């Protein structure tokens, strides 16, 4: 069989080294079919070799730290009950005085120490009364001194039979009245000092000002709320559950809890009847270091129950960036940061509820590394 070929010009530079091997044939010249495979082979040999694709950089990017393998672990399952985190102590401060607020020294959100002055009330009337009370004490003291001297004289005369029994009794009674008058004057002074202390409203304990209800110029009435202070160093989480659910809960027991979605540990303060059916209230205390958790936040308390399987990782392996939590997963060539969802705390470990599989290797970053 014969095939008709056309002598088309080759691309520039494609057959530079092959011109001596292939001679151009005249136009419309017939070439035997057996020569076609040979021609194609020669053309393929003469084509320029394709450039090698650049290789990816497979150098390992490792994070400094110790690597551990995540294993499926038996975890005590529990009943998660919802509640609210409340401050351990809260005080709404008022006064027994009736007067005008002269100055307020704090704002809402300010941290205060125990005994710190928060607010003052105009106490000029008390100053005037204090002068009156002081004068009354001095007068009573002078009368007591005179009565004491008179009683001493009558007692001496009565001993010498120079004074009658009636005179002796009158002098003794006068001294007793003078002593009582002095004690009453001094008690009035103590009472005034106590009332005067209400002109200065002070923090009863260290905490945070959560409510400021008065400004300079406000008229303060006895019992009217002025400032609210909360002690946020510890928070109380209270939940209600049926009797069967709290049967294994003991006072002082450490339970898993969460405040605003962040896992924490809570120690049981006590279990008391809720006053409705077969319900009991479990109160647990959370140590709020640095005030990281806010009072009034939604909280949960996990009551102990049957065991289940789950993944536990060291708390130090958790990487936090804002509200995101993750772990560093070690791969074949490099480490990667993977975001995960956390469950409850279990001592020095925390449960990973999603984003990680058993058998994977994670890195507990070295101390001082960023993001830990």
- Check which CATH number belongs to the domain holding 352 and give it: 2.40.420.20
Residues 194 and 253 in one domain: no
The structure tokens 């691309």 sit at 11
168-216 residue pLDDT tens: 889 889 889 989 988 988 888 887 777 778 888 999 999 999 999 999 9
232-267 residue pLDDT tens: 889 999 998 888 888 888 999 999 899 988 889 999
Whether 96 is in a domain gets the answer no
- Give bridge partners of residue 208 from the DSSP assignment: 111, 230
Whether 222 is in a domain gets the answer no
Of the pLDDT bands very low, low, confident and very high (cuts 50, 70, 90), residue 25 is very low
Number of domains within the chain = 3
Res 24 pLDDT > 50: no
Whether 215 is in a domain gets the answer no
Domain that holds residue 298: 65-88+229-365
Q: What's the predicted TM-score (pTM) here?
A: 0.49
Residues 162 and 268 in one domain: no
Nearest to 68 by CA among 367, 361, 372: 361
Residues 74 and 137 in one domain: no
86 secondary structure, DSSP code = E
Residues 179 and 235 in one domain: no
Residues 11-27 as b or e (16 or more Cβ within 10 Å = b): eeeebeeeeeeeeeeee
At residue 162, the pLDDT reads 84
Whether 59 is in a domain gets the answer no
Residues 252 and 314 in one domain: yes
Residues 152 and 195 in one domain: yes
Of the pLDDT bands very low, low, confident and very high (cuts 50, 70, 90), residue 77 is low
């Amino acid at each position: 069989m014969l095939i008709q070929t056309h002598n088309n010009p080759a691309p520039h530079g494609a057959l530079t080294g092959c011109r001596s091997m292939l001679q151009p044939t005249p136009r419309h010249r017939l070439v035997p079919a057996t020569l076609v495979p040979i021609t194609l082979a020669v053309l393929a040999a003469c084509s320029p070799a394709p450039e090698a694709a650049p290789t990816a950089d497979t150098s390992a990017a490792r994070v400094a730290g110790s690597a551990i393998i995540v294993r499926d672990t038996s975890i005590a399952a529990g009943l998660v009950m919802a509640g609210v985190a409340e401050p351990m102590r809260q005080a709404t401060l008022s006064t027994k005085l009736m007067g005008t607020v002269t100055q307020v020294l704090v704002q809402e959100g300010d941290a205060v120490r125990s005994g710190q002055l928060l607010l003052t009330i105009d106490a000029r009337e008390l100053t005037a009364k204090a002068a009156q009370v002081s004068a009354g004490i001095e007068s009573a003291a002078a009368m007591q001194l005179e009565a004491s001297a008179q009683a001493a004289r009558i007692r001496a005369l009565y001993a010498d039979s120079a004074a009658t029994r009636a005179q002796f009794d009158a002098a003794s009674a006068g001294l007793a009245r003078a002593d009582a008058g002095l004690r009453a004057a001094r008690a009035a002074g103590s009472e005034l000092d106590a009332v005067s202390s209400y002109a200065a409203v002070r923090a009863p304990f260290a905490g945070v000002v959560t409510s400021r209800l008065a400004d300079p110029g406000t008229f303060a009435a006895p019992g009217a709320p002025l400032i609210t202070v909360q002690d946020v160093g510890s928070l109380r989480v209270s939940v209600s559950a049926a009797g069967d659910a709290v049967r294994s809960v003991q006072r002082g027991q450490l339970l898993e809890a969460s405040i605003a979605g962040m896992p924490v540990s809570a120690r049981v303060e006590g279990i008391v009847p809720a006053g409705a059916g077969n319900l009991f209230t479990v109160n647990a205390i959370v140590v709020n270091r640095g005030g990281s958790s806010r009072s009034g936040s939604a909280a949960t308390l996990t009551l102990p129950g049957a065991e289940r399987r789950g993944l536990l990782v060291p708390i130090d392996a958790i990487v936090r960036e804002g509200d995101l939590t993750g772990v560093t997963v070690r791969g074949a060539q490099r480490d990667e940061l993977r975001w995960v969802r956390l469950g409850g705390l279990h001592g020095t470990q925390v449960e990973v509820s999603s984003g990680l599989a058993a058998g994977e290797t994670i890195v507990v970053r070295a101390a001082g590394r960023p993001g830990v």
